[in-house]
């Protein structure tokens, strides 16, 4: 049996709650700062009018980094057991399948509209 590392400092393990999440303030401040920087960066993408593939990839990268930091540190998912992490984080991935289906569908709708109502 592999033992889980001690995740809870002593004061969080005392009477009343055995499932506390106590983490250093420094870590929260660091993530807070990073979120500010990443938000500023994604705003700059718009401000500097970047276009095309560069724009989309930067937007998505900054978005994923921000989402990851919030879920992992602010929401403590990094310290939860895998049983909870997988139960919560994997199901939303099936939305990606819906995205693929709907991209194909809306391409078709667009084509139909252009054919039926004339190109603009």
Partner 1 sequence: MTDRTLNKTEPRYTAGLAGFVADWSSDQRAFKNVSWGKAMMWILLLSDTFIFGLFLVAYMVARSSTPETWPNASEVFALHIGGADIPLILIAIMTFVLISSSGTMAMAVNSAYRRARGPTALLMLATALLGAGFVGMQAFEWSKLIAEGVRPWGNPWGAEQFGASFFMITGFHGTHVTIGVIFLLLVAHRVWRGDFDLDRRNWLSRGNGDYESVEIMGLYWHFVDLVWVFIFAFFYLW
Q: CB–CB of 96/51 below 8 Å?
A: no
- Does residue number 78 form part of the binding site for partner 1 (CB under 8 A)? no
Supply the minimum distance, in Å, between the C-beta of residue 11 and partner 1: 7
DSSP codes, 31-73:
HHHHHHHHHHHHHHHHHTT--HHHHHHHHHHHHHHHHHHIIII
What whole-number distance in Å separates Cα of residue 51 and Cα of residue 45? 9
Q: CB–CB of 55/45 below 8 Å?
A: yes
* Binding residue (CB under 8 A) for partner 1 from 10, 20, 53, 78: 20
- Does residue number 54 form part of the binding site for partner 1 (CB under 8 A)? no
Q: Which residues contribute to the site for partner 1 (CB under 8 A)?
A: 1-5, 11-12, 14-23, 25, 28-29, 31-32, 35-36, 39, 42-43, 45-47, 49, 55-56, 59-60, 62-63, 66-67, 70-71, 73-76, 80-84, 86-88, 91-92, 95, 98-99, 102-103, 105-107, 109-110, 113-114, 117, 119-120
């Amino acid at each position: 049996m592999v033992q889980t590392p001690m995740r809870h400092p002593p004061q969080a393990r005392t009477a009343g709650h055995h499932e506390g999440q106590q983490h250093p303030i420094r870590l929260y401040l660091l993530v807070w700062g990073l979120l500010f920087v990443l938000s500023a960066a994604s705003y700059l993408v718009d401000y500097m009018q970047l276009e095309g593939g560069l724009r989309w990839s930067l937007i998505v990268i900054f978005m994923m980094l921000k989402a990851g930091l919030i879920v992992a540190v602010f929401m403590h998912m990094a310290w939860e057991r895998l049983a909870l992490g997988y139960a919560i984080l994997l199901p939303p991935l099936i939305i990606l399948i819906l995205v693929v289906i709907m991209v194909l569908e809306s391409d078709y709708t667009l084509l139909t509209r252009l054919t039926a109502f004339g190109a603009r």
